[in-house]
A and B are shown apart, each in its own frame.
Chain A
Amino acid sequence: MAKLNENPTVYAVSRVERAASVDDIDDEDAPEPFDATEVFDLVRDIQDPEHPLTLEQLNVMEVKNVQVDNQKGRVVIRFTPTVPHCSMSTLIGLSLRVKLLRSLPQRFKVDIFVMPGTHMQEHQVNKQLNDKERVAAALENPNLLQTVNKCIAGLSPAA
């Protein structure tokens, strides 16, 4: 099957090492704080469903498009599909959601959107990705779940 985007642009990735924060190590009651870089670290290596490359390498995910409000327990992620008619957007969005659901503390509410102006069906894609019931039903499809799990595990479904 022909790929939607035969020649995606591949971007260089950065690996900035961050010193561990010592502030809250002794306070066991403090909820584990998260910031945008930590959330980005959780999702940067998710595989694109179509190409054997990560979301970071394809610039689908960038740290500047991750917003974390640690106090309120809110994460907002915006991702950029590789092409404006990308039918893989739902799959990418689901992978992001599942990875964060499994990795973030339960107190975080996650909203996922495509970057404004980057998808022809922006409203429809956004609505689907943020409808909890639609997401739950979709993930009960074993084939879809398997594809999502492969993307999250860093195994390219395209390989």
Chain B
Amino acid sequence: TATAAAAQTLKGHDDRVWHVAWSPCGKLLASCGADKSIRVWAKSPKAPGAAGGAAAASPAEDEWLCVATLEDTQSRTVRSCEFSPCGSYLAAASFDATVVIWQRGHREADDGSGAIEEWECVSVLEGHENEVKSVAWSADGSMIATCSRDKSIWIWEAPPATTPQARLPEEDIECECISVLTGHSQDVKHLRWHPTEPVLFTASYDDTIRVWAEQVDDWGCVEVLQGHTNTVWGLCLDSSGTRIASCSQDCSVRIWSRSDKGTWACDKVLDEIHERTIFSIDWSRDGSRIATGAGDDAIAVLEASSDVVGSDFSVTRKLLAAHDTDVNCVRWNPQDSHILASAGDDGFVKLFFLP
């Protein structure tokens, strides 16, 4: 297993970077961390190499720059951030117990020098008792879910979909709490929505994964997935929503699939990929690859051994020393399953171009 063909290091954060997230169009990358800021990165409009403005021969040659720094709103580590499905909002979860919604504005500079990114904080969601660890937008963009060390999950109304050119005034944005979910016996580390249905999946310090859905009147837990023998740090679903891949402090990845009855069962345990805690896992949009990021400083890429649905995943690449120390987050670009972004304790954001 060789090291990556091409990689780029994005420097700017002053402390560990906990999380990265792509915009739905795949053109913006947001990162956040212990320096209490969020940075938004985009490809430089300038063409690389020779004059004449030729397009880059490969995505690896595009230069990525920091186009915005969002700070001075949350007083502690920003642990996680996610773009809305419409791409115009960024929700950010902090150790200061708040979740903040930023709205994106985009306008042409008066002097014709190009486009300007303007981000404005339009809402603060308060309710959690302590550190908020993860935030996620439902597939249709109507709800936001958040989770915390307080063991609960909150579901909120999301702001209405909009475009960067038509910003909504702050007064028109109200994110009411829809429901507060309890059940986990310990911190809830991470959550993700099902790709199509209003169903929520949570990963916890209590070693389990829980599935939540709206039943009759209110939201409730519909299933508890047991199997991991230590904290579950992350999970992801494939785009069909029929498989889950989870990662844990027990140094394993588990693949779960959904039966006809709708219940989940663990098909596979992969415990020889990493020797330290696996902090993050992500499934590419086209379903062909799973990436993991771990405390052994490595990123692994898993691929299915055949096209047969349900076939085994095995490691096809292991990027050793992907970061100088722990890898905290890995995310596939939603528009290009060959581009992977990562965040590390070394304070860097990295882009990997994997053929």
Contact = CB atoms under 8 A, between A and B. Distances in A.
B131 interface: yes
Contacts of A107: 325
B50 to A, nearest CB: 38
B77 interface: yes
Interface in A123-143: 127, 130-134, 136-137, 140
A140 B76 CA distance: 8
Contact of A137 (B131, B249, B295, B325): B131
Contacts of A150: none
Nearest to B346: A106
Contacts of B282: none
Interface residues of B, number: 24
A127 B277 CA distance: 12
A109 interface: yes
Chain B contact residues, majority secondary structure: loop
A153 B131 CA distance: 29
A131 B249 contact: yes
A109 B130 CA distance: 28
Q: How large is the interface on A (under 10, 10 to 19, 20 to 34, 35 or more residues)?
A: 10 to 19
A159 B189 CA distance: 38
Nearest to B79: A133
Interface string B201-220: 00001000000000000000
Nearest to B326: A132
B231 interface: yes
Interface string B89-103: 000000100000000
A109 B328 CA distance: 15
Given A109-B295, A131-B205, A131-B249, A137 B326 contact: no
B149 A137 contact: yes
A132 B249 CA distance: 10
Contact of A106 (B133, B277, B324): B324
B97 to A, nearest CB: 11
Interface in A30-51: none
A9 to B, nearest CB: 34
Given A132-B326, A133-B189, A140 B77 contact: yes
Contacts of B77: 136-137, 140
Nearest to B205: A131
Interface in A97-136: 106-107, 109, 127, 130-134, 136
A127 B79 CA distance: 20
Given A133-B79, A134-B205, 8 more contacts: A106-B346, A109-B296, A134-B187, A136-B34, A137-B95, A137-B131, A140-B77, A140-B95
Q: Which 4 A-B pairs have the closest CB atoms?
A: A137-B131, A137-B95, A106-B325, A140-B76
